[in-house]
């Protein structure tokens, strides 16, 4: 139904067919490489590459420079005139829009200067501008790329939103219009499927479209958001649609990103730098980093951990703040407050390590001074009603005029209302009139229970499943400035904006999501703006100019190879088509993390040119017997990745998650890169007829020349003894150990095999004759048997066999 609604809107917008191209051209606007022609009906009639004279405007639909919406009806211009640098669009009922045009070397800008009857206009639309380009659609950045030429749109201020109001909350999630298969069907050449909201660029049946819009927010609106059918989006005074401004550009594909960078500087947009380079091209924008907990007392240990891993960024993970809202530092970790954190930052920076921390955006904890003892009037509201009777300080049933904003329970984690200076929690709303809040807890969150009079406002507060409250726009701005002050005073040089969607509590949709980081960034010192990494778990068209990268993928759902793996890899295609540095998300090291798993991650990171966050607590590092080797490998792979030492062919192979690799150091700045064939088998306890063999036979492929096979044996939920391996049906080897539950035998060639506990702590070694494990190139077999200490369907021995191709020499560039 929503898709049908979308197509009806578009059909309504494009009432005039492509025959408009025959109308008189009133102006040709040009940059060095791009020309836009506009006719006397306000239609754009060409997008011309000035070098080839090729027109990239689609002929399927008419494309208007700007349109309006009044009372939910799309209004297209009836005529257009031009005088000097002003284009005037005339709409029905004598509505006129004056648009200032500037022709720059690299792009063209359009700004709405005036509009008659402006308060009656709901929205203005820039575009959609239809193009024939369809190779790569950068839906967030707003750039579409063909084989040789790129066309782009950029919103030049925060209130001009990339996209189109496909739904009325300004959220525009991609799948409200397209399912993933729809997007691919309509645009099969897209570099991956559309994973995020379709905003400034969109695939179409004829190629692509570019679009932006601005909303008049002079009145309260009722919208759907936060799983609520009704929520008040309050009026917001930002000048309305006047001042909305965009840029359009066309250029060779290889110049598109450079053009945006130049535009940011010229137009006063955010242009964060990382150590003197623009954040979108700086190598450190995709740098891996360590996440660990540290305090004033053990920060040196965290710095040492980061240096051992060969990394330059250290991210505090723990209870950084006593509260969210005022962001008072947690005294258990920073007893000296801001000065203590500053000391940690300075100690790290003295050793070349930059420190950052995590921000859950506009989430406000219930212990914050914005909540208690006197709740701030700027806490976001779902909506309000009035009390219908006087109530005393102990009343547990509160009569209200309307239940509309109070009985929405899907995202109602705190069930809290504000009356005056009191917060009250309620159990439920009466099912019929007279409407009442029932089972009320008075004086919630250490506010003061008070008497209230009939007719007083009662406001349902908006909350989040994290058991926090949220902000209106004014409070979002204040919290952003508070966080900027922390960064300015301590010198923190990395931030992660998590939960930015919480800022939709402002009623501003994606505008609100950008408002917090935009305010924060503009409040930073110039020094910080030149040496700062900014990441986030989501983005918007305008926020693209602020953050260094997105970094999403959580480590809580499985091991390195299982936790949101496909999602992490699909993200990389989204990043590439939107000019974002590659990042793979968070990976958590445990005491049981293996070298093999680490190198699996490191190969993927190198293949995608992507950084990652390595979550490593002190306890896990201490318990894992592989820690030193793991940290050294992280540093080696990272140096080679950021140094550009891997070839494009090698990186393509690295992206195959089914392939494994190992890096062996030869000498300083020189390594052997080995391709690994890893095959995993399970030998289980069998119950068969008397005399029937109980062993298992597995076939494997040696991808290299003759070599001693490497293997790992892991006891799963059992003890195993009398372990026998037979290679190719004639070399029988008895392993002289009893393998306890969770223990591992590892053999990597030579005269010794090693027994480890589950944390890779050495238990013992035993002798191995390497000639017994010699296997030739190609197909081989191994038979395996053992005695289990118990009969259990969950008991097994995991056997991983690893063979290696001849190495390729890798030298650090």
Which tokens hold the place of 805?
Answer: 């191709």
Region 591-611 average pLDDT: 95
The alpha carbon dihedral of 418, 421, 427, 432 has a sign of: negative
Tell me the three state secondary structure of residue 538.
coil
298-319 tens-digit pLDDT: 999 999 999 999 999 999 988 9
317-356 tens-digit pLDDT: 889 999 999 999 999 999 999 999 999 999 999 999 999 9
Taking 50 as the threshold, does the pLDDT of residue 5 lie above it? Answer: no
Taking 90 as the threshold, does the pLDDT of residue 365 lie above it? Answer: yes
Region 220-235 average pLDDT: 94
* Residue the block writes with tokens 């720059």: 104
Which DSSP letter does residue 79 get?
A: E
**Do the strands 313-316 and 354-359 form a parallel or antiparallel pair, or are they unpaired?**
parallel
* Residue the block writes with tokens 């540290």: 294
Give the least confident one: 172-176, 374-378, 737-741, 759-763: 172-176
Q: What is the pLDDT of residue 317?
A: 87
* Residue the block writes with tokens 């005036």: 114
Which DSSP letter does residue 545 get?
A: G
Contact 439, 475 (CB under 8 A): no
Taking 60 as the threshold, does the pLDDT of residue 190 lie above it? Answer: no
Which DSSP letter does residue 625 get?
A: T
Q: What is the pLDDT of residue 22?
A: 47
Taking 90 as the threshold, does the pLDDT of residue 253 lie above it? Answer: yes
Contact 108, 168 (CB under 8 A): no
In this prediction, residue 175 has a pLDDT band, given cuts at 50, 70 and 90, of very low
Contact 503, 477 (CB under 8 A): no
CB 167: neighbour CB atoms within 10 A?
18
Q: What is the pLDDT of residue 791?
A: 65
Q: What is the 3-state secondary structure (H, E, C) of 353-406?
A: CEEEEEECCCCECCCCCCCCCCCCCCECEEEEEEECCCECCCCCCEEECCCCCC
In the chain, % of residues over pLDDT 70: 91
Which tokens hold the place of 86?
Answer: 């002003």
CB-count burial class (<10 Å; 0-12, 13-18, 19+) for 431: exposed
Which tokens hold the place of 89?
Answer: 């669009």
The mean pLDDT value of the chain amounts to 91
What is the reported pTM? 0.90
Nearest to 487 by CA among 329, 667, 620, 297: 329
719-754 tens-digit pLDDT: 999 999 999 998 899 999 999 999 999 999 999 999
């Amino acid at each position: 139904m929503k898709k049908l609604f979308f197509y009806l809107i578009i059909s309504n917008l494009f009432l005039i067919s492509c025959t408009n191209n025959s109308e008189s051209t009133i102006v040709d606007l040009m940059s060095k490489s791009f020309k836009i022609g506009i006719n006397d009906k306000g239609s754009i009639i060409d997008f011309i590459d000035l070098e080839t004279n090729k027109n990239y405007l689609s002929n399927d639909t008419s494309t208007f420079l700007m349109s309006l919406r009044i009372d939910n009806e799309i209004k297209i211009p009836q005529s257009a005139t031009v005088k000097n640098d002003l284009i005037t669009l005339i709409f029905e009922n004598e509505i006129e829009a004056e648009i200032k045009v500037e022709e720059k070397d690299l792009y063209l800008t359009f700004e709405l200067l005036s509009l008659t009857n402006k308060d009656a206009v709901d929205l203005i639309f820039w575009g959609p501008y239809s193009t024939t380009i369809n190779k790569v659609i950068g839906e967030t950045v707003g750039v579409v790329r063909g084989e040789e030429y790129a066309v782009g749109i950029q919103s030049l201020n925060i209130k001009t939103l990339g996209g189109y109001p496909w739904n009325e909350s300004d959220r525009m999630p991609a799948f409200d219009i397209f399912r993933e298969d729809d997007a691919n069907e309509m645009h099969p050449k897209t570099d991956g499927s559309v994973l995020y909201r379709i905003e400034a660029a969109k695939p179409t049946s004829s190629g692509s479209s570019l679009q932006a819009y601005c909303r008049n927010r002079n009145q309260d609106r009722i919208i759907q958001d936060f799983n609520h059918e009704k929520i008040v989006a309050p009026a917001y005074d930002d000048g309305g649609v006047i001042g909305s401004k965009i840029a359009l550009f066309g250029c060779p594909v290889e110049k598109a990103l450079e053009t945006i960078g130049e535009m940011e500087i010229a137009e006063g947009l955010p242009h964060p730098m990382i150590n003197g380079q623009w954040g979108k091209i700086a190598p450190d924008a995709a740098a891996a980093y360590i996440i660990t907990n540290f305090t004033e007392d053990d920060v040196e240990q965290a710095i040492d951990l980061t240096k051992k891993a060969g990394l330059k960024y250290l991210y505090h993970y723990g209870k950084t703040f006593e509260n969210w809202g005022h962001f008072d530092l947690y005294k258990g970790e920073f007893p000296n407050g801001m000065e203590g954190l500053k000391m940690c930052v300075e100690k790290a920076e003295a050793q070349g390590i930059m420190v950052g921390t995590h921000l859950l955006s506009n989430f406000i904890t219930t212990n914050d001074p914005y909540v208690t003892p006197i709740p701030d009037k700027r806490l976001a509201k779902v909506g309000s009603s009035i009390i219908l009777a006087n109530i005393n300080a102990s009343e547990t049933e509160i009569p209200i005029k309307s239940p509309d904003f109070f009985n929405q329970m899907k995202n109602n984690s705190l069930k809290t209302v504000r009356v005056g200076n009191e917060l009250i929690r309620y159990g439920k709303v009466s099912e019929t009139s007279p409407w009442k809040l029932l089972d009320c807890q008075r004086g919630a969150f250490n506010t003061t229970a008070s008497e209230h009079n009939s007719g007083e406002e009662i406001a349902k507060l908006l909350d989040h499943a994290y058991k926090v409250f949220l902000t209106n726009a004014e409070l979002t701005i204040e919290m952003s400035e508070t966080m900027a002050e922390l960064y300015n005073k301590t010198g923190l040089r990395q931030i992660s904006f998590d939960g930015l969607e919480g800022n939709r509590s402002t009623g501003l949709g994606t505008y609100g999501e950008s408002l917090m980081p935009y305010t924060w960034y503009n409040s930073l010192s110039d020094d910080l703006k030149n040496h700062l990494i900014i990441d986030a778990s989501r983005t918007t068209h305008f926020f693209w100019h602020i953050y260094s990268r997105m970094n999403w993928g959580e480590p809580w759902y499985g091991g390195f190879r299982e936790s949101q793996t496909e999602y992490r890899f699909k993200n990389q295609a989204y990043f590439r088509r939107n000019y974002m540095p590659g990042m793979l998300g968070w990976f958590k090291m445990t005491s049981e993390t293996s070298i093999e798993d680490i190198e699996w991650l490191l190969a993927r990171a190198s293949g995608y040119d992507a950084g990652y966050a390595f979550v490593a607590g002190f306890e896990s590092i201490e318990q894992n017997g592989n820690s030193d080797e793991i940290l050294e490998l992280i540093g080696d792979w990272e140096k080679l990745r950021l140094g550009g030492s891997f070839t494009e062919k090698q990186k393509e192979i690295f992206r195959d998650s089914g392939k494994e690799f190992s890096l062996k150091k030869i000498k300083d700045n020189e390594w052997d890169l080995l391709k690994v064939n890893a095959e995993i088998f399970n030998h289980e306890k069998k119950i068969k007829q008397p005399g029937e063999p109980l062993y298992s036979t597995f076939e494997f492929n040696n991808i290299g020349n003759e070599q001693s096979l490497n293997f790992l044996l892991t006891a799963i939920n059992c003890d195993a003894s009398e372990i026998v391996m037979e290679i190719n049906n004639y070399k029988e080897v008895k392993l002289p150990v009893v393998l306890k539950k969770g223990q591992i035998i590892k053999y990597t060639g030579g005269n010794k095999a090693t027994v480890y506990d589950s944390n890779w702590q050495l238990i013992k070694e035993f002798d191995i004759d390497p000639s017994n494990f010699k296997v030739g190139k190609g197909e081989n077999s191994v038979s395996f048997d053992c005695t289990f200490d118990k009969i259990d369907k969950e008991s097994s021995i995991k056997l991983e066999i690893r063979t290696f191709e001849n190495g390729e020499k890798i030298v650090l560039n």
